[in-house]
Amino acid sequence: MPPTTLLDLSNDEFHMIFQLLSQPDLVALCLTCKTLCRLPEQTLYSQVKFNWSTSSVPPIVQLLRSLFSRPQRSTYVRSLVLDGTQFEGHINRGPTYTPSIPVTIEDIERPISWIESLKVTYRNQWIRQLEVGNIDAFVTVLICQLSHLRSVKIGSDFALDNLILSMVLKSALCEDSSQNSGLSISQQLQSVTFTYQFVQQYGSLPIHKNTKEVLPILYLPALQNLSICIDNPIKFAWPTVLPPNLSTLVSLDLQFLREKHLHKILSLTTSLKMLRWCWYWNRDTATIGRHRYFSKDIDLDKVTEALLYIKDTVEDLTLTTHIDHLLDGEDRPYVTGSLSGLSKLHHLKRWLVPQYMLNGGYRPPIAKPLVQILPNKLEFLGITEDIYDPDSDSVSPTDLLEPLRQWLSRRKDHAPMLHSIFFITEGFDWHQPIRNEFTRIGDQAGVSITFPLNPPPCFARFGSPKAINSMWF
């Protein structure tokens, strides 16, 4: 029997070995053995992560040069993560202030040649943006090459300017395929994160009018997990005559979009199990000139109406709020309506919700019976105070004492599967006598009531995919 050599191992055995090697070792292997090069390349290219900072330019140009020189490498990439939060302060001056990256004629020769082969009306605009080092133009070329991409995260710095990407997504996903533009986006793309970050030091959330730019993302045919920011247009309109088919969407992290338009998206889902929705108000983005087109009030009836569209599927629900640009002495949002009716969320197991939404009002708290709000299959309930103001006439922790006592007094009927209630205390004070009273109520009902600073792990977390920092190109 001839001796077994390294090259006699099966592909599966090679991949098991490659998983144990560091990235530099894999690179060295690619450079050492041409015969083995293809297999470690599959591992190296499968997950790509770039981080943009003031001291480090993402090597996207080098990556594109590598992919165009050997197109097979494009098929290896499954996950793409584009991170960075260094340039968010520029957003209040407009998205065109995204820093350019340095490029040479040689860097863009092949991308330009590829763009010129496309049948799209914005070819010249796209090429001009490449020539000036616009990161959006390069990201768009990259995504179009990755035919087997399954997960993508476009973080804050990369998302400041996305005009080219939005036009390409609309051409590839929303327009008549018979036009044959030559564009294609991975049909396997399942997870998309396209968000801006909260930037407290600038006093406002970085957001510009982006509805038309991001809505084509929802037309991805295999979309399962989506984290996205959508602003609040006066009129919400889909980019085509038909709305997207969101039957495959399982988890949704939705920020900025207000309750007025929330139903436009939730009504299209049929399999949504996890929802995180952030109610948002900003003086700058809620007004045009002297005219306010979006109210500062929280309409809980509209919230309830939208959430009832997912009553037969949702298992994890997180409701939060964020408010910016309140003037000194200005009242916080006034709450109207109630969440009465959400007891119909038949499959809900974990719910994180602000107390004022449970109470249903501010002045005075108008508490609906919790049996009308809390589903009877609930296992974990987290209660927060996102916009609690101890100096105002707002709800206080004691406002939930009696409603909670009444609800838990018939726990076997109202909440037979309930394990724990968490009062998330970050940002405001809970006096010990109040804590003791809530704990006593829980003990009587056989339910753990605790006061952590942050939501415990049992609540759904919307994280970004893990990726290798492939910056060796």
**Tally of CB atoms within 10 A around 384:** 25
Tell whether the model's pLDDT for residue 355 goes beyond 60: yes
What CA–CA distance (Å, rounded) separates 397 from 248? 39
| pLDDT 10s digits, 123-134 | 999 999 999 999
How large is the average pLDDT for residues 301-319? 96
C-alpha 319/C-alpha 311 separation (Å) is 15
Residue 463 has pLDDT above 60, yes or no: no
Q: What is the pTM of this model?
A: 0.85
Inform me whether the pLDDT recorded for 208 exceeds 90: no
Give me the mean pLDDT over the 415-431 stretch.
83
Residue 184 has what pLDDT?
A: 87
For residue 287, pLDDT beyond 60: no
Q: How far apart are CA 342 and CA 82, in angstroms?
A: 37
pLDDT at 15 over 70: no
Rounded Cα–Cα distance for residues 186 and 207 (Å) = 27
pLDDT at 199 over 60: no
Mean pLDDT of 106-132: 95
| Per-residue pLDDT at 93 | 41
Residue 464 predicted with pLDDT over 50: no
CA atoms within 13 A on the CB side of 335: 25
Question: Which residue is associated with the tokens 């297999």?
Answer: 39
Window from 110-114, 239-243, 273-277, 455-459 with minimum mean pLDDT: 455-459
pLDDT for residue 85: 67
Residue 270's pLDDT band, with cuts at 50, 70 and 90, is very high
- Reply yes or no on whether the pLDDT at 203 is more than 60: no
Mean pLDDT of 219-234: 90
Calculate the average pLDDT of the chain: 81
Report whether 353 contacts 384 (CB < 8 A): yes
For range 402-408, the mean pLDDT: 90
Which is higher by pLDDT, 337 or 30? 337
By the 8 A CB rule, do 112 and 130 touch?
A: yes
Euclidean distance between CA atoms 74 and 258, whole angstroms: 38
